[in-house]
Amino acid sequence: MTALPALYLQEAATWAQEHFDISVPANVSYELLEEILARKLEILISENFQQFIFLLYRTDVSEDRVKQILENAVATGADPYKPIAALIIERQLQKITSRATYKQDNLPDDEERW
């Protein structure tokens, strides 16, 4: 993972907490967030696959990459949960970074935005 401001990771953790119904400690590390999210994904995949798919859709992760991870897990017996968690976190960090990069401050009103 590239070095991003800790604030971005905290924002991603808050988002994950709200959307995946998980508890995340303050000042969570990337690795711990990945582990917590992986445990939640394991439960979702085994107990509520439709909710898992909905959350992937809502997160806007690459369907092809998720399929690759799941196919690799089936072929090798590897754990798919951490790689999918990493994919979700990375996508959320991309969105946060993009918003921060293209943020438009000091616009007088909605008319001026267009």
Mean pLDDT of 51-56: 91
Domain count across the chain:
1
- Does residue 24 belong to any structural domain of this protein? yes
Residue 23 lies inside a defined structural domain of this protein = yes
In a domain, 62, yes or no: yes
- Provide the domain limits for residue 94: 6-100
Give residue-wise pLDDT tens across range 68-111.
Answer: 999 999 999 999 999 999 999 999 999 999 988 887 666 556 55
Confidence of residue 1 (pLDDT cuts 50, 70, 90): very low
Residue 36 lies in a domain: yes
Residue 40 lies in a domain: yes
Q: Using an 8 Å Cβ cutoff, are 106 and 30 in contact?
A: no
Is residue 113 one of the residues assigned to a domain? no
pLDDT for res 67 = 93
CB 61 within 8 A of CB 88: yes
Q: For 13-23, how does the pLDDT look when each residue is reduced to its tens digit (9 = 90+)?
A: 999 999 999 99
